[in-house]
Amino acid sequence: MKRIVMGLWSALLFFVITSSTIWAQATAQISGAVRDQTGALLPGVEITATQTETGVARMTVTNETGAYVLSNLAVGPYRLEAALQGFRTFVQSGIVLQVNASPVINVVLEVGQVTEQIEVQADAALVETRTSSVGLVIESQRISELPLNGRNVGDLITLAGAAVQTGIVTGRLFSGAQIAIGGGVPTGTDYSLDGANHINFLTGVGLDLPFPDATQEFKVETGGLSANRGSSSAVAAVTKSGTNDFHGDLFEFLRNDLFNARQYFSTTQSSLKRNQYGGTMGGPIVKNKLFFFGGYQGTKLRSDPTNTQAFIPTAAMLAGDWTAFASPACNAGKPVVLKTPFVNNQINRAQYSKVAMYITTRVLATIPEQPDACGLITYGGAITKQDNWQLVSKVDYQKSSQHSIFGRFLATSQYFPNGLSLTKNLLRSGAIGTDALSTSYALGDTYLIGAHIVQAFRLSVNRIRNWQIGNSFFSLCDAGATFFYCGNSPTWISGSTITGAFTFGSSFGGADKAHWPYWNPWSAQMNDDVSVVKGAHQVSFGGGTLYGRMIEQARFADGGQLTFNGSVTGLGLADFMTGRLFTLFQGQPNKHQANQLNLNLYATDTWKLTPRLTANLGVRWDPYLPQRIPDIVSGIPGAVYNFNHDRFLKGIYSTVFNNAPAGFYFPGDPGFPGKSGIDNQWWHFTPRAGFAWDVKGDGKTSLRASYSYGYVFMTGIWREDTSGSNPWGGRTTLTQPGGGLDAPWRDNGGSPFPYVVDKNAPFAPRGLFLTQKPNMKTLNVYSWNLSLQRQIGANWLASASYIGTRTLHVWGQYPINPAVFLGFQPCMLDGVQYPTCSTTANTDARRLLSLERPRDGDKIGHLAEFDDGGVQKYNGMLLSLQRRVARGVTVSGNYTWSHCQGNYVDINQNGPPANETYTKPGDRNFDNGNCLSDRRQIFNATAIAQTPKFFNHTMQTLASDWTVSGIYRASSGAPLNIVTGTDMALSGTNLQRPNQISANAYKDRSGRPLTQWVDSAAFSAPALGTYGNVGWNSLVGPGTWSFDMALSRTFNVHEAQRFEIRVEAFNVTNSFRPGCVQGATGCSPAGISGVPSVGGGITIGNSTALNSNTFGQIRTALDSRILQFALKYVF
């Protein structure tokens, strides 16, 4: 099979490379049939479609059935002509083609002279009677006129309905929104720009689209996509092009906190200043032949809001008195009693850690305000200084009526400095800076081989260069720690967390460029597509290939990531002050490279069964060729390996790394699958089927249904954490080390760092590992839909759709080296006597592999095995109502009612670390609940209205040329996962859940500031050695909404020139809108502007910890009212 398909593929590539055609843009098509007045079909009719802005014309001839198809047409306004000797020429103008649209325009010719014309001024019908997918176009007017917070076109994607933003990738992952469309996974969406691949290979989400003045339109589709797309949903955008007239604009958008409401929970008004400025220009180089378009936007942002809360040690705590901090007033209404041996919530100062005291002294010295009795302070946690820009250029060349070529370039730059370059507050030491540049290239042409055959070959290259800028302050060695190596982190401590208090530390290294880590992905894709019209069939076939590579240099844990969660004293801050370290996570700098090759072939048939019924059939071949990890040097493999338990028990060792524990094998060891660890899977054939029924034959009512089956492949970053394993990155986690914070490696033979990665490299104790089975299946998505559309009048379209999605083989992780609960009696483990056999202090000694083979097991801490058994099910109803532009008014609205259920999995596919596993070893379904993307109800509405032209001079001066627009969005809350925050099951797994002891888990669902959304009294920690009864994602956070408006007035200064003054208001009513429920490790309530980002994109979901002293409270908010002013010059 492999030889056969590779032979076919080689033949296809030869055909592609030797052909003279190079590309098709994101396009549309017109189809239909021509009849005479008696209803007889007319073959041989000459059909011509002319793009009225460029003068570019396409011609075809109706076939023997009287049918015609004009495919691969550029979007924009068109005039359609039909001519046949003996009949009057038919002309229809006012047709506007949108991206991926497929309107049916049937023509009736009247007997007469061909020189006589019958002219019709009408747009195409709104009802879709040819394709089967469910979709919505966001056209140019809405992109330019709607109030767009941040001028990010991608924020409009969720307006399509049945779309949920599950996170925002930032920092090392560059930028982009993770959006689940139609119940699929965020990485299951095919993003394209001008028909070219527009996906960040690192994360699998879309790259930034051009700014609003440079984007023509985009379409969001889901359910029943054609076989030319391998995904379950798609976003296809189009860059603006030049025309026969010079056109463009100059603009500046301004924000200043003088005009904004104070941010909720902020103690002072920030000094926000943002300028977004730039312009566009397009026009002819040679009329009707060669056109250009270009644009630039710069963004400068300065902001210092004081609305971030933290709890720091007070003078009383420093003196040993913890009574106030442990009181109900400081702990969400529940008192805390410090655990034995502490009495009356007092701690002897002599028990404080010298390292903790050093850190505390340095932190307190940089905080400009005094805490209250609980230690609460509010500080500038989001101070920023950003300098970003975007550049876009495009050239279109109409070589002949049969041959068109275009090229497009897009560059997006982001720069913002690290936190400590803007403030001395060490609580900002975790704010990493970014210096990144994304570039995207597209080239192509469309060629008509004959009247009924169109070929398109496309090529794209996307590349990101991304440096991360850490902070320099002091190291653990500077703080007095012993038995710790700081050579790789001379001036910083890695990002560290104190539950219920504060975070500090810089995850990615110091501020000097020699220590900057980087992530540099790139990808190249080419596709060849052929469309042939024959009789009642429109057959399309083709194929493509994508090659991607990511190269990174990571420094995640050089300085030691520290966690204090209250396991010892009952309070995270008390654990920190006494040096009771829960976990130390440390590694050394490491490089990682992953290469990916994707191949595909497809064939589709759009078959006109009857004049009113069209069938859509297709099949796609999508083999899975897993990522290959190249050798780091000759003879030393890259970071890929497998683990086999049977080999471990038999004591079978690797011949590649001499110190590897038994059971591990690497490239070069017998039986290891190539350079990937996973077998190639060639037999991936996916069918597609659907129909579109023109119910009455008038093009005004359609009933459509479809079924599709496709694959979603892993993102480029998926194996990032594998590269941090032993021996490459040496990452290891010590749980409650005996030396505590002051001497972390004292009881583990001293620090293993640094070392050289070679055949004799050491394997640090309790290393973190991620492995997989060679026969891992890749994620696949089944989707189906049933849709009813009805055009009302000339401009209204109503639709009702059912969307179903079932996602199988979603990758999660099993913990295959958990700590075993051995009861509470005394016992001896690996020669050490323990008075209590099962405690968090001996978690590592109780791990399964340590009990089975202590010599090898002691080198293994968290060991996760990728599991391909995750399932996600979605059922949704999408109702929509749309009015296209008529008399200056356009309206669009939709309502989604849906439910998504599934397993706890990383649907964002950012490459989970080894400790991000299912909660209960061996039981995937214990973590079954609402999907991360589950929002039961979503409502979106947009409207744009322009005042009419008045003839009265006074009325014209006062009331003409005004435009008002608005966006209203509302959504149910995001799933909320309640966790204990500590290891009550004594299994070493994270995100364990408590017991729910009250029927009602909510307390105050008003959503007001500082209210208790979740009732802490409704939960209790389970008994040691057991798991709680609370289901995963079983609660729901606060719902949210946004209401934004814009008002503008234009002043004509010349026939084709005008000025526009504009004011925009975001959160018009200045209403309080709750953010995340407190204790959350990650949050994206509804995908609405102002939602906190997912830090680095690596957190699964919104988990609220019971041991947080602000558990269940509402202490964050979305933006208060923001005003934005703009001035535009349009020509």
Query: Residue 883 belongs to what H/E stretch?
Result: strand 860-886
Query: What pLDDT is stored for residue 45 in this prediction?
Result: 93
Query: What pLDDT is stored for residue 845 in this prediction?
Result: 95
Q: Which residues contact 222 (CB under 8 A, 6 or more apart)?
A: 133, 134, 135, 162, 181, 182, 184, 232, 233, 234, 783, 785, 803
Order across the sheet with 117-121: list the strands: 57-61, 46-51, 76-83, 89-97, 117-121
Percent of the chain with pLDDT over 90: 69
Distance CA 131, CA 708 (A): 13
Query: What pLDDT is stored for residue 1100 in this prediction?
Result: 41
Residue 1 in this model has a pLDDT that exceeds 50:
no
Comparing C-alpha atoms, which of 1008, 1012, 1013, 1011 is closest to residue 1036? 1013
Query: What pLDDT is stored for residue 909 in this prediction?
Result: 60
Comparing C-alpha atoms, which of 941, 940, 1045 is closest to residue 148? 1045
CB 155 within 8 A of CB 148: yes
Distance CA 69, CA 608 (A): 12
Query: What pLDDT is stored for residue 473 in this prediction?
Result: 92
Question: Each residue of 251-271: pLDDT tens digit?
Answer: 999 999 889 988 888 777 777
Tokens of residue 1061, six digits:
């003054």
Tokens of residue 1104, six digits:
């609220």
Decide which of 24 and 383 is more confident. Answer: 383
Residues β-bridged to residue 1061: 1049, 1127
Residue 1096 in this model has a pLDDT that exceeds 60:
no
Distance CA 423, CA 741 (A): 27
Percent of the chain with pLDDT over 70: 95
Query: What pLDDT is stored for residue 1081 in this prediction?
Result: 40
Question: Each residue of 87-131: pLDDT tens digit?
Answer: 889 999 889 999 888 899 999 998 888 777 878 777 778 899 988
Question: Each residue of 332-359: pLDDT tens digit?
Answer: 888 999 999 999 999 999 999 999 999 9
Beta strands 233-239; 189-193: pairing state:
parallel
Decide which of 182 and 333 is more confident. Answer: 182
Residue 1103 binned pLDDT confidence (cut-offs 50, 70, 90): low
Integer angstrom CA distances of residue 470 from 355, 381, 418, 491: 22, 16, 6, 10
Beta strands 561-564; 134-138: pairing state:
unpaired
- Per domain, the residue ranges of the chain are 21-124, 309-354+364-375
Residue 201 binned pLDDT confidence (cut-offs 50, 70, 90): very high
Residue 1076 in this model has a pLDDT that exceeds 60:
yes
| Location of structure tokens 């409401």 | 261
Look over the chain and give the mean of its residue pLDDT values, rounded to a whole number: 89
Distance CA 419, CA 469 (A): 9
Residue 992 binned pLDDT confidence (cut-offs 50, 70, 90): very high
Amino acid present at 1023? A
CB 733 within 8 A of CB 583: yes
Query: What pLDDT is stored for residue 23 in this prediction?
Result: 34
Residue 595 in this model has a pLDDT that exceeds 80:
yes
CB 729 within 8 A of CB 590: yes
Question: Each residue of 203-218: pLDDT tens digit?
Answer: 999 999 999 999 999 9
Query: What pLDDT is stored for residue 777 in this prediction?
Result: 94
Range in 293-307, 717-731, 1084-1098 the model is least confident about: 1084-1098
Decide which of 801 and 1007 is more confident. Answer: 801
Residue 11 binned pLDDT confidence (cut-offs 50, 70, 90): very low
Distance CA 851, CA 677 (A): 27
Residue 1010 binned pLDDT confidence (cut-offs 50, 70, 90): confident
DSSP state of 1129: E
Residue 157 in this model has a pLDDT that exceeds 90:
yes
Residue 566 in this model has a pLDDT that exceeds 80:
yes
Question: Each residue of 361-377: pLDDT tens digit?
Answer: 999 999 888 899 999 99
Residue 602 in this model has a pLDDT that exceeds 80:
yes
- Torsion angles phi and psi, residue 258, rounded to 5: -60, -25
Distance CA 611, CA 633 (A): 64
Query: What pLDDT is stored for residue 21 in this prediction?
Result: 32
Query: What pLDDT is stored for residue 1102 in this prediction?
Result: 58
Q: Which residues contact 730 (CB under 8 A, 6 or more apart)?
A: 586, 587, 588, 590, 724, 752, 753, 755, 764, 767
Alpha-carbon torsion angle 142, 143, 145, 149, nearest 10? 120
Comparing C-alpha atoms, which of 263, 268, 284, 276 is closest to residue 302? 276
Residue 1079 in this model has a pLDDT that exceeds 80:
no
Integer angstrom CA distances of residue 480 from 361, 409, 502, 616: 13, 53, 21, 70
End-to-end CA distance of the chain: 59
Query: What pLDDT is stored for residue 949 in this prediction?
Result: 85
Query: What pLDDT is stored for residue 572 in this prediction?
Result: 93
Tokens of residue 968, six digits:
């209203």
Query: What pLDDT is stored for residue 333 in this prediction?
Result: 84
| Location of structure tokens 């890695």 | 494
Amino acid present at 706? S
What distance separates the 2 farthest-apart alpha carbons in the chain? Answer: 106
**b/e sequence 976-1005, b meaning 16+ C-beta within 10 Å:** bbbbbbbbbbbbbbbbbbbbbeeeebebee
Residue 890 in this model has a pLDDT that exceeds 90:
yes
Other beta carbons within 10 Å of 6? 13
Distance CA 709, CA 235 (A): 18
Tokens of residue 65, six digits:
């059935």
Residue 1116 in this model has a pLDDT that exceeds 50:
yes
Query: What pLDDT is stored for residue 906 in this prediction?
Result: 66
Range in 169-183, 656-670, 781-795 the model is least confident about: 169-183
Q: Which residues contact 515 (CB under 8 A, 6 or more apart)?
A: 470, 509, 555
Query: What pLDDT is stored for residue 64 in this prediction?
Result: 87
Question: Each residue of 904-955: pLDDT tens digit?
Answer: 876 656 667 888 899 999 999 999 999 989 999 999 999 999 998 888 878 8
Distance CA 387, CA 436 (A): 11
Residue 966 in this model has a pLDDT that exceeds 90:
yes
Residue 957 binned pLDDT confidence (cut-offs 50, 70, 90): confident
Distance CA 404, CA 709 (A): 34
Other beta carbons within 10 Å of 50? 18
Query: What pLDDT is stored for residue 511 in this prediction?
Result: 67
Q: What is the mean pLDDT of residues 524-537?
A: 92
Residue 507 binned pLDDT confidence (cut-offs 50, 70, 90): confident
Query: What pLDDT is stored for residue 477 in this prediction?
Result: 96
| 3-state SS, one letter per residue, for 813-844 | EEECCCECCCCCCCEEECCEEECCCCCHHHCH
CB 232 within 8 A of CB 710: yes
Residue 713 binned pLDDT confidence (cut-offs 50, 70, 90): confident
Comparing C-alpha atoms, which of 1029, 1023, 1006 is closest to residue 1113? 1006
CATH class held by domain 21-124: mainly beta
Range in 18-22, 61-65, 355-359, 637-641 the model is least confident about: 18-22
Alpha-carbon torsion angle 58, 63, 68, 71, nearest 10? -60
Query: What pLDDT is stored for residue 1084 in this prediction?
Result: 43
Question: Each residue of 36-79: pLDDT tens digit?
Answer: 888 888 899 999 999 999 988 999 999 988 999 999 898 999 99
DSSP 930-984: E-TT--SEEEEEEEEEE----SSHHHHHHHTTEEEEEEEEEEPPPEEEEE-SS-S
Residue 1078 binned pLDDT confidence (cut-offs 50, 70, 90): low
Query: What pLDDT is stored for residue 1097 in this prediction?
Result: 27
Using DSSP, how many helices (H) and how many strands (E) does the chain show? 10, 55
**b/e sequence 904-937, b meaning 16+ C-beta within 10 Å:** bbbbbbbbbbbbbbbbbbeebebbbbbbbbbbbe
Residue 635 in this model has a pLDDT that exceeds 90:
no
Dihedral-angle region of residue 547 (phi above 0 means left; psi in -120 to 50 means alpha; beta otherwise): beta
Query: Residue 122 belongs to what H/E stretch?
Result: none
Question: What number of CA atoms fall less than 13 Å from residue 364's CA on the CB side?
Answer: 17
Residue 1095 in this model has a pLDDT that exceeds 70:
no
Distance CA 616, CA 491 (A): 62
CB 852 within 8 A of CB 829: no
